[in-house]
A and B are shown apart, each in its own frame.
Chain A
Amino acid sequence: MRYIPVTDKDREEMLSKCKAKNIDSFFLAIPEDVRLKRLLNLPSARSEMELIRYMQDIAAKNSNTNNYSCFLGAGAYDHYIPSVIGHLTSRQEFFTAYTPYQPEISQGTLTAIFEYQTMICELTGMDVSNASMYDGASALGEACVIASSASRKRSDIIIVEDMHPEYKETVQTYLKFRGIKYTAMSVEQLLNADLTSTAGVCIQYPSFYGDIYDMERIGRYVKESGSLFIVCANPMALALLKSPKGFGADFVVGEAQPLGIPLGYGGPYLGYFACIKEHMRKMPGRIVGKTTDVDGKTAYVLTLQAREQHIRREKATSNICSNQALCALMATIYLSVTGKEGFKQVAKRCVDNAHYVYEGLLNTGKFLKTSDLPFFHEFTVSPKSDISALNDYLFKHGFIGGLDTVKGWLIAVTEKRTKEEMDEFIRRAGEFNG
């Protein structure tokens, strides 16, 4: 067996040292009636050559975004991933290490997380960031739970309804099992709502359908009502759009997959979680801080651990243990490679491309406008034809089309799309008569 290095002779010597007759001696504590008396019913072992071929065949049954031009977004975006990211994150020192509980031999991971936390704070305008969450949806769920417990007088949560439907469902799961009341409503309803029993309001920025609201107005209303303001933001959009700090956010969370993380059929992705200082000691998950060692040398360490499950058990602010550290490293490298100017340029190209495709689609006469609000790199239009038939038609011509949503056809355009791809996409979408 490839990954088991103990030889037959070793085994005999080891058994004798343990004073065990045979391997079965170790398992005598397992009662006879719960033992499996047969082999597991699994495919038999494959050699490396057989296995790679088998898995390649399975992978080949999928149509991937390198062979098809992708205009699908809705929470997962086909951005370009610079080649250095794969090389650096493949270093065994990063990817085979455990959670950095032993700081003396984990300064690599700890330093990278400290840099990651700094970058997330920069993008969001928040004071503190944790080391990562599972994904955007669960990060939002945790933020709502914390907001709900922040005040004794209020505990309800409001979700602005054009939130990603899967995020909404996730938040609902996180809240309903704790018995926290939540309501979904539109921005218009929110701005007329009585928020006296509302602990927190969460909103997606830009919305699931791409709309950018007047966040300052919404933030002012929420804050003046004494509720906490939770913003779930696309970090790529924050390169160009107003920072959530500017409209009074208490928590900024979201999905950082756009920052150098592969689409990967939905995961692993990267939830980010940041907040203002007041909520620091209620944050979920790992946090890295700066300190010194006994010789006065600067070093980094997991800190504020009194919040966490391994210390506080059922009183912990969250149950999270493993997070998405390697994905946080990818994002850190991505933001380093693109840097201050490059990151803005990527975001700007997304904006240019998306508006080019938007205008192009409207000009075909086959699509109607659905919103007058500004957008970043994602928008809806209303096709005259059936969306699923339209997408099938486009697929035959090499395109992965947008998502079918209640507000229309949701299209995302990243910096990867060339003018040729966009022109052809618009032409094919315009010529379809389904």
Chain B
Amino acid sequence: MAELIFDLSKEGKCAFSLPQSQIPSYEIDERYARDEDAMLPEVTEVDVIRHFTNISRKNYGVDQGFYPLGSCTMKYNPKLNEDVSKLQGFCALHPYQPEYQVQGALKAAYDLQQYLCEITGMSGATLQPAAGAHGEMTGIMIIKAYHESRKDTKRTKMIVPDSAHGTNPASAATAGYDVVQVRSDDKGLVDIEALASMMDEETAGLMLTNPNTLGLFESNIKEIAKIVHDKGGLLYYDGANLNAIMGIARPFDMGFDVVHLNLHKTMSTPHGGGGPGSGPVCVKEELIKFLPRPVVCKKNDIYYLDYDRKDSIGRVKAFYGNFLVCIKALTYILTMGPEGLKQASETAVLNANYIMAGVKDNFIIPYDRFCMHEFVLSGNDQKEKYGVSTLDMAKRLLDYGYHPPTIYFPQIVHEGMMIEPTETENKETLDKFIEVMNKIAQEAIEDSDLLHNAPHNTYVRRLDEVTAARNPVLKWEKEQDL
């Protein structure tokens, strides 16, 4: 039975107490007062602890095992980062305390901005965006503000590759752009000729992930940048895959103008079951003036928040970003140092190639050459010969105790499965995963029903998602459980 906290509720139970009041009570005028209480649960502290502990055990986290979720960079989340972010000097600060009371917080933010600029090669940064997609939106707004500042207002389009994350086109739309798609060539890279024919003076720029979502480095990046820049456009770097190239190559040197990073991927901060993330944006010199307000600055060793920025796009959220997530990322960068970050990228790439080499006898590798930090295989053979889909194989991985890789993405690979091991996994873990993948390929041949019906060992099995969407039940109702 799936028990909810509401099911434990009983009149008169309470897990909370306030100190005795020593002041007079004040009654709010009845005209403004609520008629009916909110039906919150009435439970004890032990009820709360047991309930949330028990439901947590139906989850799967990185600390439990391998999480090769492509494009999500599910690396280990160091515990030290958590401890640092919980220091009272960081987590008990009010965002409107005067600057002189929070010099440490401003220093931390300033240093992180500097380090992210060094890692990306850029000149200025904002920590305000709360997540990757929020950073994309911010970056695209900066591009729009740049064009408008030059009275170049006829640019209405943004180009996005057909292999891009769904957030790219969606973010371009939030900034008011029409999205046009550029196709990939047979090597899995941006089709240069198609790009050249599309890029015109009505196009604001190109959003690109590099390495791309197939885990391949866009080798023609300089040429791509030239095509975009020659027509007056700007080049946007989606930092989702930055984990492949830290200390090896930098977006600025490739010709990018704006970058967002996902601190919850590359910089090891936890995903929290969906968030909070953090999506800082770094830009080159001439775009600094468009960054969201305020920017953390430093003058004569005093840190301050600079609000006086007339060309700024404005704000994308209140306050200064997901500050405590930034503290974790800063801790990570200082732990790793320049050699460590480079070694992280090298090992992430080694691990991905090692898995690819280990499974290539049993699965189609559509782009069969060295990959970067992730690769995409195709389950098309299994599908066509044995009727076993990639979804079936992903669900079977659950039975073996893994979080499955990203599936059916990018959409240009049939029955795609995108595998990103990250650098924090050891060889033994990778060997076991390779063994299981090959075993599943064998099972597809010998016992396809085993896969169609997978998973078998999980707390719940495959869900009826169609009914969930057709007749949505989105909250607990007292009646339904009577």
Contact = CB atoms under 8 A, between A and B. Distances in A.
Contacts of A26: 346, 349-350, 353, 370-372
Contact of B95 (A7, A176, A263): A263
Contact of B222 (A1, A33, A36, A136): A33
20 contacts: A35-B253, A40-B118, A58-B108, A59-B87, A76-B95, A91-B56, A93-B61, A97-B273, A107-B58, A119-B40, A138-B316, A167-B318, A240-B34, A265-B105, A265-B319, A290-B474, A295-B461, A301-B468, A314-B172, A422-B23
A397 B95 CA distance: 20
Contacts of B468: 289-291, 301, 303
A355 to B, nearest CB: 4
Interface in B345-390: 346-347, 349-351, 353-354, 356-358, 369-372
Nearest to B52: A88
Contacts of B43: 336, 339
Which of A212, A295, A336 has the most CB atoms of chain B within a 10 A radius of its CB?
A: A336
Interface stretch (B195-203, B227-235, B424-432, B443-451): B424-432
B388 to A, nearest CB: 17
Interface stretch (A14-22, A185-193, A194-202, A378-386): A14-22
B442 interface: no
Interface in B13-46: 13-19, 21-26, 28-29, 31-43, 45
B339 interface: yes
B275 A122 contact: no
Given A177-B176, A268-B130, A27 B26 contact: no
A314 B179 contact: yes
Contact of A122 (B38, B172, B277): B38
Contact of B141 (A34, A177, A314): A177
A61 interface: yes
A62 B52 contact: no
B34 A243 contact: yes
A64 B93 contact: yes
Interface string A50-76: 011011111111111111001010111
Nearest to B358: A17
Contacts of B464: 291-294
Interface in B84-129: 84, 86-98, 101-105, 107-108, 115, 118-119
B274 A322 contact: yes
Contacts of A332: 5
A332 to B, nearest CB: 8
Nearest to B336: A45
B53 A88 contact: yes
Contacts of A374: 28-29, 32
B358 to A, nearest CB: 7
A112 B39 contact: no
A95 B60 CA distance: 10
Interface in B390-439: 394-395, 398, 403-404, 409, 423-427
Given A173-B141, A267-B276, A138 B317 contact: yes
Centre residue among A36, A104, A323 by max chain B CB count within 10 A: A104
B61 A94 contact: yes
Contact of A320 (B119, B133, B141): B133
A178 interface: yes
Contacts of A108: 55-59, 273
B1 interface: yes
A344 B28 CA distance: 13
B353 A18 contact: yes
B318 A170 contact: yes
Given A42-B333, A104-B459, A97 B133 contact: no
Given A119-B40, A342-B14, A352-B24, A322 B276 contact: yes
A43 B334 contact: yes
A241 to B, nearest CB: 6
A1 B42 contact: no
Interface stretch (A127-135, A152-160, A218-226, A363-371): A127-135
A64 B88 contact: yes
B221 A107 contact: no
B260 interface: no
Interface in A312-364: 312-316, 318-327, 329, 332-333, 335-346, 348-349, 351-353, 355-356
Given A42-B115, A62-B102, A336-B41, 14 more contacts: A30-B219, A34-B250, A44-B337, A93-B57, A178-B175, A297-B2, A299-B460, A316-B170, A319-B136, A320-B133, A324-B272, A336-B52, A338-B16, A351-B26
A316 B472 contact: no
B91 A263 contact: yes
Interface string B287-328: 000001100000000000000000001111111111111010
Contacts of B101: 62-63, 395, 400
B171 interface: yes
B137 interface: yes
B274 A351 contact: no
Interface in B255-291: 264, 268, 270-278
A28 B67 contact: no
B172 to A, nearest CB: 7
A424 interface: no
A271 to B, nearest CB: 8
Contact of B317 (A28, A99, A135, A145): A135
Given A29-B217, A342-B16, A320 B337 contact: no
Contacts of B317: 134-135, 137-138, 170, 267
A322 B25 contact: no
B90 A62 contact: yes
A46 B84 CA distance: 14
Interface centre among B38, B119, B341 (most CB of A within 10 A): B38
**Can you list the 4 inter-chain pairs with the closest CB atoms, starting with the nearest?**
A59-B89, A266-B319, A45-B337, A61-B104
B206 interface: no
Contacts of A391: 98
